[in-house]
Chains A and B, each alone.
Chain A
Amino acid sequence: MYTQALNTAETEDRGLEDAAKAAEFQARIDAEERIEPNDWMPAAYRKTLTRQISQHAHSEIVGMLPEGNWITRAPTLRRKAALLAKVQDECGHGLYLYAAAETLGASREELVDAMLAGKAKYSSIFNYPTLTWADIGTIGWLVDGAAIMNQIPLCRCSYGPYARAMIRVCKEESFHQRQGYEIMLTLCRGSDEQKAMAQDALNRWWWPVLMMFGPPDVASQHSDTSTRWKIKRFSNDELRQKFVDATVPQAQYLGLTIPDPGMTQDADGHWRYSEIDWTEFKQVLAGNGPCNRDRMAARRKAHEEGAWVREAAAAYAAKRARRQTAQAAE
């Protein structure tokens, strides 16, 4: 296991953080140096990153479900292969991210257990259902588009393993985003029924996608310290605005209407969107989204039904190690 060779947070757990180390740490951050797993770091920095990276990993894994819902029904073999490859990429992202979180001293098992117990969060967006094929296009275009907006700055995150994981993840996400947009373009150039399908999907996903950037800056709990530690480089509202500005022309090109009649373009060219329904966001985070229960049930089922397989693999590995030791002793 990657974490075995790494220093753990024992000294910090004993509450012995000294001010000189903290100042030196902040100086390194300010100088844009990368913090690596064996470097000293404040306990709160470790905790914040473990939370953020593991939430990100959980999101990738839960995020396989809504899109996975269409793998067996993709309309052509080319689309089927592309979607399967895409969902597999998300799984790969989950794996890198759990590995990045492990460099902070947490094990994948404990992080996954926390998610399955409902103690760790994942992105609210995956609690919405994929009802038609157009949802697959819309997720690629908008959900991956929003994820890229969030993750590009994370490529410069102060924590080295997370930043490096993000570089690879972003490359794949940008491919997914183009693929999603191409699905939308095909639908919008297709029959009236296909175009209506595309518009319906946009109508359902638009607001939940804007919520992906998190609560408005005035209400965000974690932003201040995360910004000081250069984990976060832009505020939620800044990223949301960048996303909206990038997306409006894309929707126009598709000939689709963004479901916000109050949207206007200001003198600086920014598209100003209407008030977001934060009650819905809070309800989804609280477990009351349309698919929260289904998503958790699916993950728990896979985990529980896979237990005997993981036990078998561990039992066999132990037997084999014993045999090898016995052979070596002969």
Chain B
Amino acid sequence: MAVANIQVSETPLVLYALRRADDALILGHRLSEWCGHAPMLEEDMALSNIALDLIGQARELYAFAAKAERRDNDEDKLAYLRDVRQYRNLLLVEQPNGDFAQTLVRQFFYSAFADLCWRAMMSSRYTTLAAIAAKSEKESAYHLRHASEWIIRLGDGTDESHRRAQAAIDHLWAFTGEMFSVDDGERALIQAGIAVDPETLRGRWLQTISDVVSEATLVLPQNNWMQQGGRTGRHSEHLGHLLSELQSMQRTFPGLTW
């Protein structure tokens, strides 16, 4: 039984919240795939914890988006009844877990950005966004510390871990540029003091990344070509598979209460 996708009125504010919510949900979902399968129990705990933080952030942001939208959408409709082309997350967060190095490099790139972004958003003129940011920043600071420590351990661990960490950096680097892209609607929100201008974060982000990568005896790629598309719904092939799993219950049994 097929269920129709919901329609979303993507005003700049709704879109802004959805983009952050989708980042958090998709990355949280990816991390939750590790639960029960991590290299050590401590990491089963840690990755699940980070996933829980991210899913929590997604829920608050979806609630905010739904309220801003003023239709009858809610967090579950937004998460479960939009198709690939309606999802607004970064390409980075939908990339498959790969090995532990790939998961941690993905987390490292994202958390280093998210932490700065949440901290800046704490002074958003929208108090709800500022409040979500204040809670999320505390979480992302831990996520960044956890990921940074692993990048250093893996880079400066064994030959194999070094090779895997470097391969993950080389593979994922092209997905980092999208974090700094801004469209016209978002530009207006930035000017109104509601949204964060990611360009103002780029220098500090690159500094954090470079410091950790260098301590890990790893290097950043020379190739600076960046993939784009997630923010406008042009995703990699991976997202559709993730969504078909994530949404399977709501698609199979439409309109029920669980």
Given contacts A312-B153, A312-B161, A316-B156, contact A74 B48 (CB under 8 A): no
B246 CB within 8 Å of chain A: yes
User: Which of the 9-residue segments A16-24, A139-147, A164-172, A188-196 touches chain B?
Assistant: A188-196
A76 CB within 8 Å of chain B: yes
B257 CB within 8 Å of chain A: yes
Interface string of A297-324 (1 = CB under 8 A from B): 0100110011111111101100100000
Given contacts A72-B33, A312-B153, A316-B156, contact A305 B39 (CB under 8 A): yes
Residues of B within 8 A of A307 (CB): 39
**A91 contact from B44, B55, B80, Cβ within 8 A:** B44
In contact, A81 and B55 (Cβ under 8 angstroms):
yes
A243 CB within 8 Å of chain B: no
A77 CB within 8 Å of chain B: yes
In contact, A306 and B40 (Cβ under 8 angstroms):
yes
In contact, A313 and B157 (Cβ under 8 angstroms):
yes
B253 CB within 8 Å of chain A: yes
In contact, A84 and B51 (Cβ under 8 angstroms):
yes
Residues of A within 8 A of B211 (CB): none
- Which of A85, A306, A313 gathers the greatest number of chain B CB atoms within 10 Å? A313
**B153 contact from A68, A190, A316, Cβ within 8 A:** A316
B237 CB within 8 Å of chain A: no
Residues of A within 8 A of B249 (CB): 73-75, 133
B196 CB within 8 Å of chain A: no
Task: Please give me the residue from chain A that is nearest to B253 by CB atom.
Answer: A193
Interface string of A75-111 (1 = CB under 8 A from B): 1111111001101100110110010000000000000
In contact, B37 and A72 (Cβ under 8 angstroms):
no
B182 CB within 8 Å of chain A: no
Q: Nearest Cβ distance between residue B86 and chain A, in whole angstroms?
A: 17
B245 CB within 8 Å of chain A: yes
Residues of A within 8 A of B72 (CB): none
B190 CB within 8 Å of chain A: no
Residues of A within 8 A of B43 (CB): 306, 309
Residues of A within 8 A of B154 (CB): 309, 312, 316
In contact, A311 and B158 (Cβ under 8 angstroms):
yes
Task: Please give me the residue from chain B that is nearest to A73 by CB atom.
Answer: B248
In contact, B245 and A73 (Cβ under 8 angstroms):
yes
Residues of A within 8 A of B209 (CB): none
Once the chains are docked, how many angstroms separate the CA of A65 from the CA of B34? 11
Interface residue ranges, B against A (CB under 8 Å): 25, 29, 32-33, 35-45, 48-49, 51-52, 55-56, 58-59, 62, 75-76, 79-80, 99-100, 152-154, 156-158, 160-161, 164, 245-246, 248-250, 253, 256-258
Q: Which 4 A-B pairs have the closest CB atoms?
A: A306-B39, A312-B157, A312-B161, A309-B39
A78-B59, A84-B32, A133-B249 provided; 6 other pairs, C-beta below 8 A? A64-B36, A72-B29, A81-B55, A88-B44, A302-B39, A319-B156
